[in-house]
Amino acid sequence: MLKYMGRGDIMYSLFIDTHYLNLVIVLYKDGVVVDKNELINIRNQSEVLVPSIVAILDNNHLTIDNLGELIVVNGPGSFTGVRLGVTVAKTMAYLKNIPIKAISSLQVLASNVDNDQFQVSIPENNGMFIGKFNNDFLNPQYIYIKKEDMDTYVTNNNITIVEDIDYNKLYKKISILPIINPHLVNPLYIKTIEVHNDKKSAN
Amino acid sequence: MKDVYILAIESSCDETSVAIVKNGNEVVALEIMTQIDTHSLYGGVVPEIASRMHTEAVTICLEQLLKKTDLKIADLDAVAVTYAPGLLGSLLVGVEFAKTIALVYNLPLIKVNHMAGHIYANNINHKLAFPLLAVVISGGHTNLVKMTGDYEFEVLGSTLDDAIGEAYDKVARIMGIPYPGGPNVEKLAATGNPSYELPIPVKDDSYNFSFSGLKSAISNLVNNEKMRGNEINKADLACSFQTTATDLLTRKLSLALKNTNIKNVIIAGGVSANKYIRSEIQKACDKYEANLHVPEFIYCTDNAAMIGAAAYPLYLKKEFADYNLNASASDEIF
């Protein structure tokens, strides 16, 4: 059974994003950003993720029991990075019966774009992930473009570069996302892994 | 003294496991979700797939565990987790999972080395008696270790190249025996005779081991016979390999029993599930009137109960980890 345990009628939401070499923790109060912990270009996400959650709660005199909602970015991005955020978020949700939602890293970027039709991309070590949007709906088929093909793709397509994310604006997207069973919150993997490719070519 | 209940988590390779262990020697509940069927498709553990499956499994595994006991997480005293050594991506999932449980329930976090886990698997339903000699045999380790007390390790000897479990897997590959190589080589060896002559490794007075020469000899033998158009008797070759490899273990153990006069022996690590190796080590112990203890089969291979057992002495010493704990693929305790 899901329960909301805000302070009175107030709902606190915790947003966790570890999809690439980053760590973003946002605390919302009734859908408005009240605090944010952001670390960029880090390689030790596993060391800083849980301490960052503790810090943002402590700074706001809250405990996990006060959280009424969790939102986790479940990829695409770094396999390990996404797994860390997803593991922590789904475990908190499961243990405390906190409603949990998953959002893709591309949808996070798209929340800042006002056009009807556009593409957003997320850089990665060897290429980038592309998400196509039509009337605000993400085409379910994400695309992965390898580094050597990136220039051609960018020239031939109109790609929107998102510099900063407005997390208040993002909450409008979050508010309409469905609540998921914590056991089923899992990373989105776009790239296939080598053994799968080897197996396919062997077949 | 108050009973201590530890929730333990293990995810260093291809098993997602959680357990509740009382006072380091009584398993209250144990859940193991194995990925072996998936990895069998690829002929070995695929690290990326292992990490993915751990992420999918962790909360389900915990839910299954809690169904087996009346205890609630809030009733427990600590959360223990394997942080090293193993597959980094897999370890990380377990470590973050453990930290989150510790955070939510405000429990102390204990980091446990996987190999200490294999040693302390011998403390389940049994009390470790010191001093002892530990024969550590797994896919990544082959050591002869002297212990004078909890977490007091003195390495007498180690493998100079491959670990014994690794040698079993490599020999299985050379002979075309399917994954998992170790148990399949053992099964096949039981039906054969040691009719092939193989080189005898490490014929000196050290306590060291070496298995790569044995593997190379088998590789050459298989290739030569193939070129000559001769069939290999796989059962006999598996048996010859197992006999020679085990003889090396028992020779070095016997040497240590003789030189140290220690009367307690334990076997630790996944390869301790090998019945032939167990029986040969038993014979060596009998000869020197030493007591041998081997973990029950379920606690020989990777499981969280042994992590809970190994966490108990650390709990008593209050050796707790912080939330910035990281996993390590290679941190060794001995």
Q: Which of B42, B101, B322 sits opposite A95 (nearest CB)?
A: B101
Q: What is the pLDDT of residue A203?
A: 40
Cα separation, A120 vs A143, in Å, equals 10
Closest by CA position to A134, among listed A98, A110, A151: A110
Q: A180 pairs with which residues across the strands?
A: A100
Nearest to A84 among B41, B49, B92 (CB): B92
B121/B134 Cα distance (integer angstroms): 12
Q: Give me A192's structure tokens.
A: 């296939």
Q: Give the model's confidence band at B19: pLDDT under 50 very low, under 70 low, under 90 confident, else very high.
A: very high
Interchain CB contact of B66 with A (< 8 Å)? no
Q: What does the block give as tokens for B54?
A: 């751990």
Query: pLDDT of B32-42, one tens digit each?
Result: 999 999 998 88
Q: Is the pLDDT of residue A6 over 50?
A: no
Q: How far is C-alpha B216 from the chain's CA centre?
A: 24
- Residue pair B7/B79 in contact (Cβ under 8 Å)? The answer is yes
With the CA atoms of B149, B150, B156 and B162 taken in that order, what torsion angle do they form, in degrees rounded to the nearest 10?
Answer: 160
Give the three-state DSSP class for B19: strand
Q: Is the pLDDT of residue A74 over 50?
A: yes
Distance, in angstroms, between B30 CA and closest chain A CA?
19
Q: How many helices and strands, by DSSP H and E, does chain A display?
A: 6, 10
- Among B173, B181, B137, B124, CA closest to B270: B137
DSSP class of residue B26 equals E
Q: Identify the pLDDT of residue A191.
A: 65
Interchain CB contact of A80 with B (< 8 Å): yes
* 3-state SS string for B227-246: HCCCCCCHHHHHHHHHHHHH
Q: Which residue do the tokens 């949700």 mark?
A: A93
Contact B269, B299 (CB under 8 A): no
Domains of chain B with CATH codes: 5-121+299-316 (3.30.420.40), 128-295 (3.30.420.40)
Measure B11 CA to nearest chain A CA, in Å.
13
Please state the pTM of the whole predicted model: 0.92
Question: What is the gyration radius of the CA atoms in chain A, in angstroms?
Answer: 18
Q: Is the pLDDT of residue A201 over 80?
A: no
Give me the mean pLDDT over the B81-95 stretch.
97
Mean pLDDT of all residues in B175-180: 90
Rounded CA-CA distance B195/B189 in Å is 11
Relative to beta strand B291-293, strand B142-149 is unpaired
Q: What are phi and psi of B290, to 5 degrees?
A: -105, 150
Contact call for B99 and A88, based on CB within 8 A: yes
Q: Distance from B177 to chain A by nearest Cα, in Å?
A: 19
Neighbour-count burial for A123-158, b at 16+ CB within 10 Å, e otherwise: ebeebbbbbbbeeeeeeeebbbbeeeebeebbeeee
Mutate to test the interface with A, among B56, B100, B109, B322 (most CBs of A within 10 A): B100
Question: Of B118, B114, B111, which is closest to residue B134 (Cα–Cα)?
Answer: B118
Using a pLDDT cut of 90, give the percent of chain A over it: 50
Distance CA A33, CA A168 (A): 6
pLDDT at B78 over 80: yes
Residues 28..47 of A with a Cβ closer than 8 Å to B: which? 44, 46-47
- In order of A79, A146, A195, A203, B308, the CA distances from A198 in angstroms are 19, 18, 5, 9, 39
pLDDT at position A198 is: 59
Which is higher by pLDDT, A163 or B174? B174
Which domains are seen in chain A, by residue range? 1-105+165-188 (3.30.420.40), 113-161 (no CATH)
DSSP state of B42: T
Cβ contact, residue pair A50, B100, below 8 Å: yes
- Which residues in chain A have Cβ-Cβ distances shorter than 8 Å to B48? 79, 193, 195
In chain B, the residue whose alpha carbon lies closest to the alpha carbon of A67 is: B104
What's the pLDDT tens digit per position in B120-134? 999 999 999 999 999
Quote the mean pLDDT of chain B.
Answer: 96
Handedness of CA A32, A4, A87, B25 (dihedral sign): positive
User: H-helix or E-strand containing B105?
Assistant: helix B88-105
In chain B, residues with a C-beta closer than 8 Å to the C-beta of A98 are none
Please report, for residues A45, A101, A189, B13, B253, the alpha-carbon distance to residue A80 in angstroms, rounded to integers and kept in the order given: 9, 20, 11, 15, 42
CA B148 to chain centroid, in Å, comes to 21
> Distance between CA B98 and CA A87 in Å, rounded?
10
Q: Specify the pairing of strand B26-34 against strand B15-22.
A: antiparallel
A7-14 long-range contacts (CB < 8 A, ≥24 apart) are: A7/A66, A11/A68, A11/A69, A12/A62, A12/A66, A12/A67, A12/A68, A12/A69, A13/A67, A13/A68, A13/A69, A13/A70, A13/A71, A13/A171, A13/A174, A14/A53, A14/A56, A14/A67, A14/A69, A14/A70, A14/A71
